[in-house]
């Protein structure tokens, strides 16, 4: 897992959810829940952090799909969830 810090300007920015096209059906978010949890940069921006998922080997995940059936995916080693 790597931790990244980015500048945001609003609660709406902080609530953003993003996906990595290489990791289908896995969503990523910021660590902080509110602007009060962020560091103020005193210029109208805030520093928010997020963590990526780093795999050292191919890993299989099984999850329940919207249709109610189990879905299994395999992700190769690498870093997933880097904000575009």
In whole angstroms, give the CA distance from residue 48 to residue 30.
7
CA distance 57 to 75: 8
pLDDT tens-digit map of 10-66: 999 999 999 999 998 899 999 999 999 999 999 999 999 999 999 999 999 998 888
**Alpha carbon distance 25, 29 (integer Å):** 13
By the 8 A CB rule, do 16 and 43 touch?
A: no
What are the boundaries of each domain within the chain?
3-78
Query: How is residue 47 written in tokens?
Result: 């520093």
Q: What is the pLDDT of residues 55-82, one digit of tens each?
A: 999 999 998 888 889 999 999 999 999 9
């Amino acid at each position: 897992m790597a931790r990244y810090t980015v500048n945001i300007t609003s609660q709406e920015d902080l609530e953003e959810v993003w996906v990595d096209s290489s990791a289908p059906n896995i969503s990523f978010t910021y660590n902080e829940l509110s602007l009060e949890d962020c560091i103020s940069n005193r210029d109208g921006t805030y520093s928010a952090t997020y963590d990526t998922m780093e795999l050292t080997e191919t890993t299989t995940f099984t999850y329940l799909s919207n249709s109610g059936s189990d879905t299994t995916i395999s992700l190769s080693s690498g870093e997933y969830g880097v904000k575009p």
